[in-house]
Structure 1
Amino acid sequence: MLLVVDVGNTDIVFGFYEDQTWKAVLRTPTHQPWSANGVVNWIKKECASKDLGDTLPSLALISSVVPSISPQIQRGLALWLGYSPTLMRPKLYETLAIQVIVPEEIGSDLVANAVYAHENYKSNVLIVDFGTALTFTLVNAEGKMEGVSIAPGLKTAVKSLFSQTAQLPEVPLEMPEFNLGTDTVSAIQAGILWGYVGMVKEMISRVKEDKKGDLKVVATGGLSSILTPLASYFDEVNKLITLEGLRLIAERLKA
């Protein structure tokens, strides 16, 4: 069994993979008072609730974009597994089938997304990741990461508007029927959600023009299914792309 861990700015996701399938995908908020023992206690409890049995993963890989949390998660998993899990670092990128730009800066989750895209498409692919940040990552047919664009994610935009204004509420992320709202909630939903639809369409259009139409577009992230008007713009919508990319990297390490 493989264990891959995606430590994001909002959630930590643990994926257990065996026999060509995800046995369990566990999720917990990132920002809490983690300790090594706390990690062990949490993961034991969650594994028991998912009937994962007593067999521990033989290989574990961690991707983290939250450096302050990484040591606690790594130590906790080491305590549970009996060995230290591998942490995605620039040195590891040198062994991959893709060419990573600015390895010291780029998020390891974006690297995992790129690995998945190149492995599955072998063509120009734009990965749109709807997370805490909205990211666009372009990987060409040769596996080179050509560039990244980063914007605030949907939830981040809503929370920012709520926290920086006196009278505007924090609203649910639900796609409104109309372009303009008739009350405060629907007005915010229209502005943010239709605004993001426009942003994503424009970015896809610009990159597709750069690639003379030769472009696949895949969407991932927990919020990837909210912007329903974008469905026809994506060749694939898969919320597990980051985990799948980490799995491919872990299997390469195992080999």
Structure 2
Amino acid sequence: MSDFLAIDIGNSSVKVARYADGQWREAASYPSSLEAPADAWGPRLAKLGARASGVCSVVPNLEARLVPALAEVTGRDPFVVRASSPLPFAMGYRTPHTLGNDRIAAAAAAWLLYGQPARRPVLSFDAGTAITLDAVDLLADGPVYLGGAILPGPHTLRRSLARGTAQLPEVEWERPEHAIGRSTSEAIQSGLTALVLDGMAALLRRAAAELSAPPLIVASGGWGGWIAKRLDMVDHVAPNLVLDGIRLLASGEMGRYDSAPEA
């Protein structure tokens, strides 16, 4: 799909990018604020220019503003990611109506770009304000989205520690050389780093053990690369995983499943 405009409406920011000639090109990010007037979005989106578009949103009020703006800019209604959309896997989540649309898009892209070609289960995590983990297993009847986990992201942890205590400062996020901090700032940095990295490593190991075969692990989000550099268990870093999911689902490029891999 060429000249495709994808919008990922998150809790902290609205990410917009245009896909053309096989790659993501112009990109922009705006605060996820309802204070911006509804008619401000049309000019913003028109600058990128596209003939088709897709939206993934976890902020319904902003989605209600951007969908009409996209339709006006492109001349057609945008594709909107939903749990009810045609997906490249069976839905094994018990409450799909509560599932974040960003998680659906990320899981779809992780499966189509990495899991399906390798014929292996896939675990993907998006590390931002929150860290979300999603699992697609490969069973005899085909790929199945199972679910995953949700936990606070690094900055959320750092800010909550400072705000929830009387004397602990909000420190810069740096990885200390030693586990034992020799100052309060170092002690906080050591504790937060261990919590995120050791916690993610344990979560990924436990999730992998519940799948039918060893999975590929894909990292995304603003903190995805940082975590991946420090955990050798991560196989791929995909900064645009949610945007790719929007694009692939909108285009119907969901691949074809034949049979499960041999044990």
| TM-score, structure 2 as length reference | 0.84
Distance 1:91 1:204, change over 3 A: closer
Q: CA deviation at 1:248?
A: 0.6
- Does structure 1 residue 161 correspond to structure 2 residue 154? no
- Match in the other structure for 1:80: 73
Code of the aligned partner of 1:9: N
Alignment of 1:1-255 (within 5 A): 1-44=3-46, 47=47, 56-92=49-85, 95-100=86-91, 101=93, 102-120=95-113, 121-122=115-116, 123-141=120-138, 142-211=142-211, 214-227=214-227, 230-252=230-252
In 2: Cα distance, 1:202 partner to 1:38 partner: 44
Shift, 1:27, TM fit: 1.3
Instruction: Find the aligned partners of 1:77 and 1:151 in 2 and give their Cα distance.
Output: 32
Structure 1 residues without counterparts, runs of 5 or longer: none
Q: What amino acid does structure 2 have at the position aligned with 1:128? A: F
Q: Secondary structure at the match of 1:90?
A: coil
Q: Cα 1:35–1:77, aligned 2, differ >3 Å: closer, same or farther?
A: farther
SS in 2 for 1:188: helix
SS at 2:111 equivalent: helix
Cα-to-partner distance string for 1:64-84 (whole Å, 9 max, x where unaligned): 011232112223333433433
Tell me the amino acid that sits aligned with residue 126 of structure 1: L
Work out the CA distance in 1 between the residues paired with 2:71 and 2:243.
20
Tell me how far 1:134 sits from its aligned partner. Answer: 1.0
Give the CA deviation at 1:119. 1.0
Q: What whole-Å deviation, never above 9, does each CA across 1:105-162 have from its counterpart, x for those lacking one?
A: 1111111111112212222111121021111111012321112111111111112112
Structure 2 CA distance for partners of 1:32 and 1:184, relative to 1, 3 Å:
farther
Deviations 1:178-205 (A, max 9, x none): 2222222222211111211111111111
Aligned residues: 242
* Contact kept in structure 1, 2:197 and 2:231, CA below 8 Å: no
2:108 partner amino acid:
V
Pairwise CA distance, 1:177: 2.2
| 2:127–2:221 CA contact under 8 A, matched in 1 | yes
Q: Distance in 2 between matches of 1:128 and 1:162?
A: 26
Supply the distance in 1 between the matched residues of 2:45 and 2:174 (Cα, whole angstroms): 32
Q: TM-score, normalised by structure 1?
A: 0.87
Residue in 1 aligned with 2:256? none
Q: Deviations over 1:56-99 (max 9, x none)?
A: 3111111001123211222333343343323222332xx22112
1:129, 1:224 within 8 Å by CA — same for their partners in 2?
A: yes
Return the offset for 1:209. Answer: 2.4
Contact map agreement 1:96 1:249 (CA 8 A) in 2: yes
Moved more, 151-160 or 169-178: 169-178
